[in-house]
Amino acid sequence: MLTTNLVLFFFVAIVFSFLCSLWEAVLLSITPSYMQAKYSEGKKIGKTLKAFKENIDRPLAAILTVNTIAHTVGAIGVGKEAAAIWGQSHPLITQVFVPILMTAAILILSEIIPKTIGANNWKFFAPFTVKSLSVLMIVLSPVILVCQMVTFVFNTGKNNNIFSRTDFLAMAEIGSQEGALSESEHAFIHNMLHFKQFKVQDVMCPRDKVISAENMMPAREFYEMKDQLHFSRIPLTESGAEGQVVGYVLKNEVFEHLLDEHKQRTLSDFKRQVEFVLPDCDIFTLFNLFIKKSQHIAIVINSERKMIGLITMEDVIETLLGKDIIDEADKKMVKSNK
């Protein structure tokens, strides 16, 4: 009978401690994305997990309470039964071997093994963990309330964000290394998270490479420059005022009117309003400006409102993608520069 009680105390302690370690490992391994996905699907497990994550102290208090009771009662029970069996005849077993074996069993069977299983298979055990902890928290609600009152003293009241930009970058890097993300997808995420760090001056086309035309230039004279006009939008400068941009024209719009009309017209007749930005403006702000104003081009100006460069929606998109966008006009320009 004494041997049976010893085995029973040992078995109960290990089983409950095993479950506690498994629950803890699974609970702490569940990712916010998994929780949000289940919550968005309207599943009960998602709602329960959301409640757990919002107040993680409650399920952890339940787990630690059961685990502490299992360890304490198990150790006392096993020690008492061992003393009753071998205390007189073999005191060395009671005082040395039983404590060593009990400690090793708790460490291996109820800590290392279950936590390894839970951490590596948390998706499989998540439903079981949620249901088990829900029942356990109801049973231990008075104890949990006391634990919350104690931990409230140490609560700073600060709500730290679960994810930072650095976390997302690290996740993208890991995803790329493990093959979950392609190289281009990794580059896109990396550039998107660094989008606000890029300035207009880092991306713009400098003034000496910008092809412009004077505001009062005749349209036919502009047409004669067609071999130099590699872009669809051409900035217009004020006649006699170097670097003073007054707008831009759509190259094809000017050419189409030349086919339909015979009267002499100047580029000012086709002038469109253009946006002006400073070189230290970040391209995230510029991107939103392009969207809001339905524009594809902006003139970069200095403090004297003189043009120092030009930036387009294409430049912004290329920065986001991390790749050059090459169309037919770009190919022709590359060939002409060879």
In the chain, domain spans: 2-152, 169-195, 199-337
What would the pLDDT profile of 166-181 be if each residue is shown by its tens digit?
777 787 788 778 787 8
| CATH code of the domain occupying 199-337 | 3.10.580.10
Number of alpha carbons in the 13 Å side-chain half-sphere of residue 165: 9
Closest CA to 151 of 289, 260, 58: 58
Kindly indicate the confidence band of residue 161, based on its pLDDT and cuts at 50, 70 and 90.
low
Q: What is the mean pLDDT of the chain?
A: 82
Of the ranges 5-9, 30-34, 52-56, which one carries the lowest mean pLDDT score? 5-9
Closest CA to 170 of 186, 188, 150, 152: 186
| Between 69 and 336, the higher pLDDT residue | 69
Tell me what the mean pLDDT of segment 234-255 comes to: 84
Tell me what the mean pLDDT of segment 256-284 comes to: 83
The pLDDT, as a whole number, for residue 121 is 94
| Between 168 and 182, the higher pLDDT residue | 182
Residue 337 has pLDDT above 50, yes or no: no
Long-range contacts of 104-107 (CB under 8 A, 24+ apart): 105/10, 105/14, 106/13, 106/14, 106/17, 106/71, 106/74
The pLDDT, as a whole number, for residue 329 is 47
The pLDDT, as a whole number, for residue 36 is 86
What would the pLDDT profile of 119-158 be if each residue is shown by its tens digit?
999 999 999 999 999 999 999 888 888 877 777 766 655 5
CA distance 324 to 327: 10
Q: Which residues pair with 277 in a beta bridge?
A: 300
CB neighbour list of residue 296: distance below 8 Å, 6 or more residues apart: 233, 290, 312, 313, 314
DSSP state of 126: H
Of the ranges 3-12, 131-140, 149-158, 310-319, which one carries the lowest mean pLDDT score? 149-158
Amino acid at 143: V
Amino acid at 268: S
Answer yes or no: are the C-beta atoms of 307 and 328 closer than 8 Å.
no
Tell me what the mean pLDDT of segment 318-336 comes to: 57
Q: Indicate left, alpha or beta for 163 from its phi (over 0: left) and psi (-120 to 50: alpha).
A: beta
Sheet (strand 213-214) strand order: 213-214, 233-237, 245-250
The pLDDT, as a whole number, for residue 186 is 79
Structure tokens at 173: 């890097």
Kindly indicate the confidence band of residue 331, based on its pLDDT and cuts at 50, 70 and 90.
very low
The pLDDT, as a whole number, for residue 218 is 86
Kindly indicate the confidence band of residue 330, based on its pLDDT and cuts at 50, 70 and 90.
very low
CA distance 269 to 120: 69
Q: Report the percent of the chain where pLDDT is more than 90.
A: 23
The pLDDT, as a whole number, for residue 332 is 43
Tell me what the mean pLDDT of segment 194-218 comes to: 88
Tell me what the mean pLDDT of segment 105-122 comes to: 91
Tell me what the mean pLDDT of segment 104-122 comes to: 90
